[in-house]
Structure 1
Amino acid sequence: MSHPEARAATIVDVARVAGVSRQTVTRALHDMPGINAGTRERVLAAARELNYHPSRFGRGLVKPAARTLGLLVGDLTNPYYAELASTVLRLAAERGWNVVMAEPGSIADLAGGTDAVIGFTGLALERPNAGAPNLPVVEIDPPRVSPGHGRVEFERATATRQTVAHLRERGVSRPVVLDLPGRSARGRAFVDAFRDAGVDPVVADSALSWAELRSAGPDALIAFNDLNGFRLLRELAEAGVAVPDEVKVVGVDGLAVGEFVTPRLSTLAIDLGEVARAALDLVVELSDGSAGDLVRVVPHRFLARDST
């Protein structure tokens, strides 16, 4: 037998060389029942030949106490990150995993004591220059692709078009899209969707107040996120502007608290449970070498509430 590739061997390589399934490799390496002695020896010989060593995380699939997941999150004072972190912690606990969390931190902060890392920071994650070359890393909604990292991407285009159609049906013709300086992907998506619907929106800095925005005469405000939307609702109420009759307001993120403000905020929501499960499943697939596709996609959905 010969080493099939220069990179570190995976369970898929062992299965190919031994001529068995990945499940059979797992049973053989962990001395589990359901496999005969000859097959077990063939698998062990292939593993020795390829210098394959199951990751600590992979061994944790059989021995739960061995698994430690690192979780990097953005600012926990932002409910968006806090809700996702809470969901990951709950689902990881259900799987018997230990979790170490850093805010926001880097992979280097967690690499030494964890078997895999999930990052949800709004920033691209870089691997440390040395150490942990095979550490499974999954990024949630990253701003750019990092080679070798798994990622959970958000599909916003469909919900964005639905939002714009909803607003146009309600007579919106002077929307303002609030965005970060330099423009974000979500801001560009709204601008494109409005233009496709025959309206050229104003784009403004998300930090601007209603007092600074009112001169544009908007009949709809597309907030950069739900927190931005909550602020605008408060400022509109203080200014005596009726929502949604005079100005409609839409947020992005779908924070649970949006159900408890007055008026309730319409928003592009994301199922954080689905996001967390996709990230955790991808961690396992990266750990045992079975991840053929490094990308999982979770769609936003438009929730029409009282603010539109």
Structure 2
Amino acid sequence: MAESAQLTGAGDPAAPAARRRATILDVAAAAGVSRQTVTRAINDMPGISADTKKRVLDAAGALSYRPSRFGRGLVTGGDRQLGLVVNDLRNPYSPELAAAVVRRAADEGWSVSLVDIGLAGAADRLLRSLHAQADVVVGYLGTWASAWESRFGATPLVLLDAGEDIAHAGVDLDPIAAIDDLAAHLVALGTRRPVVLDASEPPMPSRRGIAMVEAFERRGLSPEVVHASVPTPEHASAVAAQVIRRTTRPDAILAFNDLMALGVLSACRHAGLDVPGDIRVAGVDGLTVGTLVAPTLTTLAVDFDEVARHALELAVAFGEGDGDVGPHRVVPHRLVLRESA
């Protein structure tokens, strides 16, 4: 019976995709178009209608089809290609993440192409070029993720720290437990007037800012939330300078990230405040630069190597057509106590 079933399915265009990676011919048969039309649709070339393109992309998605780089003449020596997307290489977070991903990718036999869509003036062009080269794309896509399939076809996407985005595979970074540990630590030291310096437009706090507020509220405190519209040391320093000039100043400031915390340290230094004697300061990310300032920075650290490990495991699974791998992973932050708190 098993042999008969295999012979019966041999003529079914959808059957090969169930047993092996789908080919361009499978997509063409499923969409009822020619191979050339599939090529045009997948590579966003002119000469086909929007309806035809959508039909081809829908078929490609249903079959989990990924275009071959080799068929497009993009051979790079045989290594599989990982596209890594970051949003600001000026932030040390991006190079530290990229270094971890490159190290892990090398261990797995992948080459890495890096694109910064935050600094680029032509993000769409850069992402199209990356899509043409990469077997899998990993990183911070922001609003580009929602239109990924319609713009870039079936190249698999692994999002980093995308939160509630469940449409794509991803590695989420979860600071909740570490934030709670930090709040407990600060309250135990006598903190009574904490301020959360968030990276968001007022009056709405970020997801991270909300977690910080709730951690103190569980301990009977009501922290004030102040906002820096841009998560940089310069903006954070300007906001912190206003806060610490008040008659009743805070005795702790929790910044959205380490760069903003460095800005807070700068503002405190210029105001003549002792850290941590007069005020305690903490950040989030665990960047190396936090160990090089005085006082050294207390932080909620991300294990970049662990993030890279999960991202590459998902990338390898996609590259090998493993549909059974779980599409979402979580990496928690951890509290790292240093001199500033």
* TM-score of Structure 1 vs Structure 2, range by shorter chain: 0.7 to 0.9
Deviation sequence 1:134-174 (CA, Å, 0-9, x none): x1110110144152x21001121110100000000110010
Specify the SS of the correspondent of 2:333. strand
Residue identity matched to 1:98:
S
Specify the SS of the correspondent of 2:103. helix
Contact 2:171/2:311, CA 8 A, preserved across alignment: yes
CA shift, 1:223, in A, is 0.7
Contact 2:163/2:172, CA 8 A, preserved across alignment: no
Structure having greater relative contact order (Cα 8 Å, sep ≥ 6): 1
Matches within 5 A, 1:135-214: 135-147=155-167, 149-179=168-198, 180-181=200-201, 182-206=204-228, 207=235, 208-214=238-244
Inter-CA distance 157–263: structure 2 relative to 1 (3 Å threshold): same
Residue identity matched to 2:116:
E
Contact 1:56/1:66, CA 8 A, preserved across alignment: no
CA distance, structure 1, for counterparts of residue 161 and residue 179 of structure 2: 16
Q: Which segment drifts farther, 107-116 or 163-172?
A: 107-116
Equivalenced residue count is: 264
Give unmatched runs, 5+ long, in structure 2. 1-5, 21-62, 70-75, 118-122, 229-234
Inter-CA distance 143–218: structure 2 relative to 1 (3 Å threshold): same
Deviation sequence 1:176-202 (CA, Å, 0-9, x none): 001121321110000011101110000
- TM (normalized to structure 1)? 0.78
Q: Which segment drifts farther, 118-127 or 164-173?
A: 118-127
Residue identity matched to 1:238:
H
**1:274 has 2:306 as partner:** yes
CA distance, structure 2, for counterparts of residue 295 and residue 246 of structure 1: 42
Q: Which runs of 4+ in 1 moved over 6 A?
A: 5-9, 51-55
Matches within 5 A, 1:101-116: 101-104=114-117, 105=123, 107-116=127-136
Residue 34 of structure 1 corresponds to none
Contact 1:65/1:96, CA 8 A, preserved across alignment: no
CA distance, structure 2, for counterparts of residue 203 and residue 121 of structure 1: 27
Residue identity matched to 1:14:
R
Inter-CA distance 116–198: structure 2 relative to 1 (3 Å threshold): same
CA distance, structure 2, for counterparts of residue 152 and residue 279 of structure 1: 7
Q: Which segment drifts farther, 189-198 or 284-293?
A: 284-293
**1:252 has 2:271 as partner:** no
CA distance, structure 1, for counterparts of residue 180 and residue 16 of structure 2: 45
CA shift, 1:276, in A, is 0.6
Residue identity matched to 1:211:
A
Residue 340 of structure 2 corresponds to 307
Contact 2:314/2:325, CA 8 A, preserved across alignment: no
CA shift, 1:222, in A, is 0.5
CA distance, structure 2, for counterparts of residue 66 and residue 155 of structure 1: 32
1:14 aligns with one of 2, 19, 29: 19
CA shift, 1:7, in A, is 7.7
1:293 aligns with one of 317, 326, 334: 326
Residue identity matched to 2:302:
I
**1:230 has 2:262 as partner:** yes
Q: Which segment drifts farther, 208-217 or 289-298?
A: 208-217
Residue 148 of structure 2 corresponds to 127
CA distance, structure 2, for counterparts of residue 213 and residue 97 of structure 1: 48
CA shift, 1:87, in A, is 1.4
**1:83 has 2:96 as partner:** yes
CA shift, 1:124, in A, is 5.5
CA distance, structure 1, for counterparts of residue 302 and residue 165 of structure 2: 21
| Percentage of pairs with the same residue | 37
CA shift, 1:91, in A, is 1.8
Inter-CA distance 190–141: structure 2 relative to 1 (3 Å threshold): same
**Aligned-pair RMSD on alpha carbons?**
2.8
CA distance, structure 2, for counterparts of residue 91 and residue 305 of structure 1: 28
**1:72 has 2:77 as partner:** no
Q: Which segment drifts farther, 213-222 or 288-297?
A: 288-297
- TM (normalized to structure 2)? 0.71
Specify the SS of the correspondent of 1:145. coil
Residue identity matched to 2:179:
T
Give unmatched runs, 5+ long, in structure 1. 16-50, 58-62
CA shift, 1:288, in A, is 2.5
Inter-CA distance 9–265: structure 2 relative to 1 (3 Å threshold): farther
Inter-CA distance 7–247: structure 2 relative to 1 (3 Å threshold): farther
Contact 1:71/1:117, CA 8 A, preserved across alignment: yes
Inter-CA distance 218–6: structure 2 relative to 1 (3 Å threshold): farther
